[in-house]
Amino acid sequence: MIKGFRDFIMRGNVIDLAVAVVIGGAFTAVVNAIVASIINPLVALVWQADENGNAGFPVEGLHGTVIFPVGTLLTAIISFFAVAIVVYFVFVVPMNKWKERQAAKAGVVEETAKLPTEQELLIQIRDLLEQSNAASAAPAAAAPAADAPLRRSQSTPPAAPPA
């Protein structure tokens, strides 16, 4: 049971996922600090928000004014894209290139299987039919049947259809 768990943990995908979660969590703190110290003041300048960047638009309601905080949404969207872009270019792209180099060193070359052309397939079918006809015609060669189908040679052109 423990050996199976150890094998599961040691697979590449699980280790990659663990590294991504730890690095993503640590990097989120950095992005949040950048957003709080740089992006929020810029949002506050543009949309006349408070110093925390909490921009919003007021809507008059029955019981007073309600403020919809679009600055918070904008901050979350910017944080998400910043984390996604950095994680992709700092971790995913180099890891993929490293895996490609490892595969090239190991001599792993992906080759697509060469599929036969239509003409090659037709030739194979023709040959198989000739073999099966020859095998079935061998016992009957001594006494040809009157209703046996006629076979045309390859060089004989087909007969014209009746008019």
Mind listing the pLDDT tens digit for each residue in 129-142? 999 988 887 765 55
Whole-model pTM: value is: 0.43
Residue 157 maps to a domain: no
Range of the domain at 35: 2-105
pLDDT at residue number 131:
92
CATH of the domain at 95: 1.10.1200.120
Give pLDDT, residue 54: 64
b/e map of 67-90 (b: 16 or more CB within 10 Å)?
eeeebbebbeebbeebbeeeeeee
Express each pLDDT in 101-131 by its tens digit: 888 887 755 555 577 788 999 999 999 999 9
CA-to-CA separations, 66 to 17, 62, 74, in angstroms, rounded? 42, 10, 18
User: In which band, very low, low, confident or very high, does the pLDDT at 59 lie, cut at 50, 70 and 90?
Assistant: confident
Answer yes or no: is 17 within a domain: yes
What's the whole-number average pLDDT of the chain?
Answer: 75
| Residue 14 lies inside a defined structural domain of this protein | yes
Residues 6+ apart with CB under 8 A from 57: 67, 68, 70
